[in-house]
């Protein structure tokens, strides 16, 4: 099931995956 990028971004920003996103971005910079 494909989720539209805009909807996915809204879900991220809602906080449900905010910490996971921050961790992901942090790991990318290592």
Identify which of 26, 16, 24, 19 has the alpha carbon closest to the alpha carbon of residue 3.
Answer: 16
Per-residue pLDDT at 3: 56
Sorted by where each begins, the domain ranges of the chain are: 1-30
CB atoms within 10 A of CB 12: 14
Predicted TM-score of the model (pTM): 0.34
Report pLDDT digits (tens) over 1-30: 565 666 667 766 676 666 777 777 777 877
Tokens of 3: 């989720």
Identify which of 30, 1, 28, 23 has the alpha carbon closest to the alpha carbon of residue 12.
Answer: 23
Per-residue pLDDT at 27: 79
């Amino acid at each position: 099931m494909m989720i539209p990028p805009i909807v996915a971004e809204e879900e991220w920003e809602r906080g449900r995956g905010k910490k996971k996103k921050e961790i992901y971005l942090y790991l990318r910079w290592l």
